[in-house]
Chains A and B, each alone.
Chain A
Amino acid sequence: MEFTEEQISRYSRHILLPEVGGKGQKKIAKARILLVGAGGLGSPAALYLAAAGVGRIGLIDSDVVDLTNLQRQILHHTPDVGRPKVLSGKEKIQALNPDVAVSMYEERLTAGNAIKIFNDYDVVIDGVDNFTAKFLINDACFFADKPLVHGGILRFDGRVTTIIPRKSACYRCVFKTPPPPGLVASCQEAGVIGVLAGIIGTIQATEALKLVLGIGRPLTDRLLDFDARKTQFREIKVKRNPDCALCGAHPTITELFDDGDPYAGCAVRP
């Protein structure tokens, strides 16, 4: 593939970077990145990846835009309330950059559809709001052998980490199983400062682009926690767990499964 003059101009600030160049920009143009969730984290990720000229962006989301989303989900605008998020998202992505192809999956991610969808992408970004889906994404990336950029936000706290299946610590290496349902407060109850989605989602997009370009040092075997109250990042080293039920030496999870209540909320500090 060759870039047009307009594209060379559009991506010139990338092409100027020795780590990207024309070659790297072509890698970006060929990349396929899947966003599971077109909400808080998915919004900034989608917009920056679209601006970067990612070849194909996949959006999985079964929801319609709600008024309460607009405080942080910047992919959606006021006239979008009531419209499917994947459709609203596709329009914004292509208005920003018509070079980007968008695949819409207006459905919930399940054990039945996850691997088939993931197989068509190079990198998966977790932008979902519940533990059932976060564990399902982690497991599906393991079975489909896809790098995963995990993110989570709650109140004033955010967390991001990159997972390369079989090479770095996975979500189950650290957290094993979702928290028991009765213990967790819902996202709606706990709240979240809107800008946090922008900070964490943008770091997720950065990680995805680095993976596509094959540059730098990925955020693997490290949890990057952000505290917006203190404007402070903290890095916590983690390791692969030899006893991990998914990626350990003697796995007990050998196929995908749907676990528990898909609407189970996000946990908060008791």
Chain B
Amino acid sequence: MQVKINGKAEEFPGGTVLDLLKAKKIEPQMVAIEINDAMVDREHLGTTQLKDGDRLEFLFYMGGGR
């Protein structure tokens, strides 16, 4: 199936958001995630199944300023 991550289409064999993060080697605590414009609780990443065509936003912390 195909999902859109930060505007870019990517192939994903299917599974939960946590599976996708693991496949992409992203530490779940480093990112806030939106699916189809709705925030997903970090506690629900392992139980939220992705569907074909889902639009995901990976929002990484951006802390600098000085």
Chain A contact residues, CB within 8 Å of chain B:
37, 39-42, 69, 73, 126-131, 134, 151-154, 157-159, 173-176, 178-180, 183-184, 187, 190, 192, 197, 223, 234, 236-239, 241, 243, 265-270
The answer to whether B29 and A187 touch across the interface, beta carbons within 8 angstroms, is no
Instruction: Specify the chain A residue showing the minimal Cβ separation from B31.
Output: A269
User: Shortest beta-carbon distance, A249 to chain B, in Å?
Assistant: 15
Interface 0/1 of B34-66, CB less than 8 Å to A: 100111011000000000000001011111111
Q: Name B66's contact: one of A40, A236, A269 (CB within 8 Å).
A: A40
Separation in Å of the A188 CB from the closest CB of chain B? 10
A-B contact pairs, 21 of them (CB 8 A): A37-B65, A40-B66, A129-B64, A134-B65, A154-B63, A154-B64, A173-B39, A176-B32, A179-B61, A183-B29, A187-B66, A197-B65, A234-B6, A238-B34, A238-B39, A265-B63, A266-B63, A267-B30, A267-B61, A267-B63, A270-B25
On whether the beta carbons of A236 and B60 are closer than 8 Å, the reply is: no
Q: How far is the CA of A223 from the CA of B25 in the complex (A)?
A: 24
Residues of A within 8 A of B65 (CB): 37, 39-42, 126-129, 134, 151-153, 197, 266
Q: How far is the CB of B58 from chain A (nearest CB, A)?
A: 9
**Cβ proximity bits B6-39 to A, threshold 8 Å, 1 near / 0 not:** 1100000000000000000111011010100111
| Total contacting residues, chain B, CB less than 8 A | 23
CA distance A73 to B66 in the complex (A): 8
CA of A7 to CA of B66, assembled, Å: 32
B27 in contact with A183 (CB, 8 Å): yes
Residues of A within 8 A of B30 (CB): 179, 183-184, 267, 269-270
- A61 closest partner in B (C-beta): B66
Residues of A within 8 A of B38 (CB): 239
Docked complex Cα distance between A159 and B37 (Å): 18
Q: Which residues of B contact A40 (CB under 8 A)?
A: 64-66
- Contact A174:B63 (CB < 8 A) given known A180-B29, A183-B30, A270-B27: no
In the docked arrangement, what's the CA distance between A267 and B59, Å? 11
Nearest-neighbor residue (CB-CB) of B38 within chain A = A239
